[in-house]
Amino acid sequence: MRRFDAILIGAGQAGPSLAVRMAERGMKVVLVERKFLGGTCVNSGCMPTKTLVASARAAYVSRRGADLGVKISGEIAIDMQLVQRRAHQITMDARNGLAEWLGNTDGVTTIYGHARFETADRVRVNGETLTAPRIFINVGARPAIPDLPGLEDIDHLTSTSILDLDVLPRHLAIIGGSYIGLEFAQMYRRFGSDITVVERGARVASREDEDVSEAIQEILAAEGIDVHTNVNRIAFAQGEDGIRMSLDGADFDVSHVLVATGRKPNTDDLGLDIAGVAVDPRGYIVVDDKLATNVPGIWALGDCNGRGAFTHTSYNDFEIVAANLLDDEDRKVSSRIPAYALYIDPPLGRVGMTEREAASSGRKVLVSRRSMARVGRAKERDETRGFMKAIADADTKEILGAAILGIEGDEAIHGVIDAMNAGTRYTDLQWSVPIHPTVSELIPTLLRGLG
């Protein structure tokens, strides 16, 4: 049995950084990874998918060149093998960089294998028992596969397996109208596939306010994406020339099916019950405001704890744990202001509460909305789709949230994120002087609209 100061299970965005920080403090740590370093972001999330998004946008801009006076002779062709290889190389570069970083850090041992708890302070990997007084779980999540008639009888794709696809689907059906599904929908439509999005709910991106969801669907529909909402029955059957998909009795012939109906935590085969670690009904590890589990000496970070589902929240989990354990600080998850982006084009940047959430909180709420058609940069680039919206507390002048659905909205939203983290009132920003021409220059005008 080998003894360490800390065991880290999983090498997502939190695990490697925490391992290095602890090793730099003179601790002996072991990082156990079942498959690939880097977690979802590096291997099947942010890095490869946004590389594909970039290729898809290049095709879109090329086809629109004539609108801006740039004439391209001939048809815009897509080399899917090159597109796929480029995304794979981005992943490999990041993965290999992590391996080099960890390998060059004294005090860090990396073991590839599946870790399973034997007791609350021991795990077994590749037939060997490791023990440490501190154990950190950073095992992430994987695509959830729904129980749909006929789905097991067809070859279907997930957000992970589709990254290995190097051919262009003739007709891609996407089951799930949320963030992952919508990104792939627009991406493959721009590559040239026919796209059908299937959503059981009343609208796509249902986490957003209704006006945001409607605007997203309009953007996708304008690019020729067929969206079906309020679908009650979905079934599949293998056909002679593809897949037969049935939506409430209406049949469609498609070539490929992508299942994008959410994710589930990778916690079902770790022996958490043996260690006594509590999980909620969906399998997420229950943690407190400092990411500690109910078992002393065990913490859970990243997607597996249900307190965030993004690269940046996983990395922030590392920052919180490191600050509390190594720097004698008092940081809490509840202090984190939620923020994220939807990477369709134009993207959606979001921070804080939605209008619906703010209204249900019992506050007196102020709302301001401005069309992207008023943004100079959007007009100059002929990309005026979308709008921006801000929500504030009428009494305290506190900014409660914002949404920017429009060109560079994922970048412009950071001005609001920073203001909210600093506790700045919206009245303090109404007359700030932004740079022209930028997307952010409309934010002071947006805030003046709050009153």
pLDDT single digits (tens) 326-358:
999 999 999 999 999 999 999 999 999 999 999
**pLDDT confidence of 77, banded at 50, 70, 90?**
very high
Contacts of 379 by beta carbon, 8 Å cutoff, 6+ apart = 373
Task: Quote the pLDDT of residue 241.
Answer: 85
Mean of all residue pLDDT scores within the chain: 97
Helix axes 15-24, 80-103, angle to 10 degrees: 20
- Nearest Cα to 442, choosing from 383, 375, 378, 390? 375
Three-class secondary structure assignment of the chain: CEECCEEEECCCCCHHHHHHHHHHCCCCEEEEECCCCCHHHHHCCHHHHHHHHHHHHHHHHHHCHHHHCCCCCCCCCCCHHHHHHHHHHHHHHHHHHHHHHHHCCCCEEEEECCEEEEECCEEEECCEEEECCEEEECCCEEECCCCCCCHHHCCCECCCHHHHCCCCCCEEEEECCCHHHHHHHHHHHHHCCEEEEECCCCCCCCCCCHHHHHHHHHHHHHCCCEEECCCCCEEEEECCCCEEEEECCEEEEECEEEECCCEEECCCCCCHHHHCCCECCCCCECCCCCCECCCCCEEECHHHHCCCCCHHHHHHHHHHHHHHHHCCCCCCHHHCCCEEEECCCCCEEEEECCHHHHHHCCCCEEEEEEEHHHCHHHHHCCCCCCEEEEEEECCCCEEEEEEEECCCHHHHHHHHHHHHHCCCEHHHCCCCCCCCCCHHHHHHHHHHCCC
**pLDDT confidence of 239, banded at 50, 70, 90?**
confident
Task: Quote the pLDDT of residue 373.
Answer: 96
Using one digit for the tens of pLDDT, what is the confidence trace for 273-296? 999 999 999 999 999 999 999 999
Using one digit for the tens of pLDDT, what is the confidence trace for 188-230? 999 999 999 999 999 999 999 999 999 999 999 999 999 999 9
Q: Which of 228, 256, 312, 436 is catalytic?
A: 436
Task: Quote the pLDDT of residue 240.
Answer: 82
Both tokens assigned to 212: 């945001």
Task: Quote the pLDDT of residue 74.
Answer: 86
- Give dist(CA 66, CA 443) in Å, integer: 31
Which amino acid is present at 137?
I
Task: Quote the pLDDT of residue 280.
Answer: 98
Residue 387 near residue 214, CB atoms below 8 Å: no
Mean pLDDT value of segment 124-152:
97
How far are the Cα atoms of 17, 158, 162, 258 from residue 143, in angstroms, in the given order?
25, 7, 12, 11
Inform me whether the pLDDT recorded for 391 exceeds 90.
Answer: yes
Q: What is the pTM of this model?
A: 0.96
How far are the Cα atoms of 100, 106, 116, 127 from residue 110, in angstroms, in the given order?
11, 11, 16, 16
Mean pLDDT value of segment 92-106:
97
Is 228 noted as a catalytic residue in this protein? Answer: no
